[in-house]
Amino acid sequence: MIGSGFMGSAHSQGWRVAPRFFDLPRSPEMAVLVGRDAGRAEAAASKWGWAETSTDWRSTVERDDVDIIDIVTPGDSHAEIAIAALRAGKHVLCEKPLANTVAEAEAMADAAEQAAANGVVAMVGFTYRRVPAATFARDLVAAGRLGAIRQIRAAYRQDWLADSDGPMTWRLDKERAGSGALGDIGAHAIDLAEFITGLRLERVAGTLETIVSERPLLGEGIGLSGTASTERGQVTVDDVALFQGRFTAPDGGGFAPLGSFEATRFATGRKNALTIEISGETGAIAFDLERLNELQFFDATVPATEQGFRTIFVTEPEHPYLAPWWPAGHMLGYEHGFSHQVVDLIDAIAGTGEASPSFGDGLHVQRVLDAVGRSSNADGVWTPVHPHDPHEHQHAYDAH
């Protein structure tokens, strides 16, 4: 695993726990944790059970005894690490969003496609797909329980930046993070809406806003622990993203649904509120990550006297991913999605499952993020989600 911090802890927990509950076709070993700071890497490795540490990701990628590279670094290093790993024949799991730019994401998707010819697997960490209630929602849509999809509403709301004196972190630096609320959490809302419905956004119209443009630097530097100083750093990413989207029509033609999206770090009182509601011709579903063991389902085919949203408690062994866990009614939490991610990755490597979401899926989400940014720069005009000129992308990535 390259990187540590918050996502490193979540991924480490997934690697530790998955083999103990699931009957995996391969046995993963937590071999090496790579970090820029040797002391912190050693502390994290000791805490989570990694066998050894390194400060050199390049030599780690080339090791013969390493088969999988798990990337949990900030976005500005995703492309370089992932492409090097794929060219070295390593399977790759990379945190979302896939990259900081479309150019980087295209280069990564190209490298993944070439590596796939040699049996190498590449996967993006859109973990919320693997919350059982979200996966079950996808299954209901695929089974036709909602009929034709008519409208999609998705929002991801947090409040951890609501304090104007909250300190700078790398997530507020465009060079490191690529974008702000849009890419960090909006990417999840985009992917989950597309995953559940099976549809893809084809054009968007939106606005990005930076509410607090300067924040205090920390005494030991941006993103490190320490006391706030009197110096202030420039916030170069968005705090709030609002956009509309037009989805592709379903296979066979028909109505192309509209979607509304919100991503914000200024929703006072909301801690991790990823919500999605999908309205169809014969039914509807609603999901809230803050109540992640539940799915709201409305069946419009029953008599009017029996209609109303009902709560499905998604803890039965027949529900996705649930059978190896606890008895029915014993809830799962945020961390379990990372174990399910390990299960799906190992199944894909062993040839008993599909590598999804792929780097191609990650590239598509990157193009949506890019289109929202372009729309905002053009005062919110409708903007297509499509590749730019490929030569322009390659030149931009090479320059980077």
Along the 400 residues of the chain, how does pLDDT read in single tens digits? Answer: 999 999 999 999 999 999 999 999 999 999 999 999 999 999 999 999 999 999 999 999 999 999 999 999 999 999 999 999 999 999 999 999 999 999 999 999 999 999 999 999 999 999 999 999 999 999 999 999 999 999 999 999 999 999 999 999 999 999 999 999 999 999 999 999 999 999 999 999 999 999 999 999 985 444 444 455 578 999 999 999 999 999 999 887 889 999 999 999 999 999 999 999 999 999 999 999 999 999 999 999 999 999 999 999 999 999 999 999 999 999 999 999 999 999 999 999 999 999 999 999 999 999 999 999 999 999 999 999 986 554 444 444 454 4
Task: Measure CA 395 to chain center.
Answer: 27
Neighbours of 59 (CB within 10 A): 11
In this structure, are 104 and 191 located in the same domain? Answer: no
In this structure, are 26 and 85 located in the same domain? Answer: yes
Structural domains of the chain, count: 2
Q: In what order do the strands lie in the sheet with 122-125?
A: 68-71, 91-95, 122-125
Whose structure tokens read 């979607």? 259
Among 14, 40, 169, smallest CA distance to 93 is for 14
CATH number at residue 208: 3.30.360.10
Q: Which residues contact 181 (CB under 8 A, 6 or more apart)?
A: 156, 158, 237, 238, 239, 240, 241, 263, 264, 265
DSSP-assigned states of every residue in 209-226: E-S--EEEEETT-TTSSS
For residue 378, tell me if it sits in a domain. no
Among 265, 282, 244, smallest CA distance to 154 is for 244
* Model confidence, pTM: 0.93
Greatest pairwise CA separation for the chain in angstroms: 66
In this structure, are 188 and 324 located in the same domain? Answer: yes
For residue 180, tell me if it sits in a domain. yes
Domain end position, chosen among 301, 332, 363: 332
Domain end position, chosen among 128, 159, 181: 128
In this structure, are 156 and 279 located in the same domain? Answer: yes
